[in-house]
Amino acid sequence: MTSRDPIGWMWAEACQMLAQAERLQQQFFRLDFPRGARIAWEPPVDVFEDEDEFVVVAALPGVAPGHAEALFDGRTLLIRARRRVPLHDRHYAIERMEIPHGYFERRLVLPAIPLEISAQQWRDGCLVLSLKKVR
């Protein structure tokens, strides 16, 4: 495209960005099991820090409170569970399925400072973990 056609150039850029977003979404919300592993997807997380603690918020749509496991080995936080397909006991044809399901794990390497899980709660479909800095 020439620089004389800004509409065509912007349209081409927009299409390219949409294609890239689609590839990233398919990679992130993979419904198959990659390379023979049992892990089907990884939940997105937010991590916050202040002078006393780290707070990790993991988006776990469709996972019931108490059905996720959070383990901390001193450096790595592991969050894992299984999200079952809703309505699995009914016979529906799937028209669209965008929310990931299946077994998941998410590993986060945290700074090499003494931490311990001090609180775990569910808020708006998210697992909220507080890791207190041990002094």
In the chain, the number of structural domains is 2
**Are both 17 and 63 inside the same structural domain?**
no
pTM recorded for the entire structure: 0.68
Per-residue confidence (pLDDT) for residue 73, from 0 to 100: 92
Q: Bridge partners of 123? A: 126
Give residue-wise pLDDT tens across range 18-61.
877 776 665 554 444 444 446 778 899 999 999 999 999 999 98
Give residue-wise pLDDT tens across range 107-135.
999 999 999 999 999 999 999 999 999 98
* Distance, CA of 100 to CA of 55 (rounded, Å): 24
Average of per-residue pLDDT across 61-78: 91
**Are both 21 and 66 inside the same structural domain?**
no
E strands, the chain, are: 45-49, 53-59, 69-72, 76-83, 102-109, 115-123, 126-133
* Distance, CA of 68 to CA of 107 (rounded, Å): 13
pLDDT at 70 over 90: yes
Q: Which of 112, 114, 111 is nearest to 132 (CA)?
A: 114
Range of the domain at 15: 1-30
**Are both 77 and 128 inside the same structural domain?**
yes
**Are both 60 and 79 inside the same structural domain?**
yes
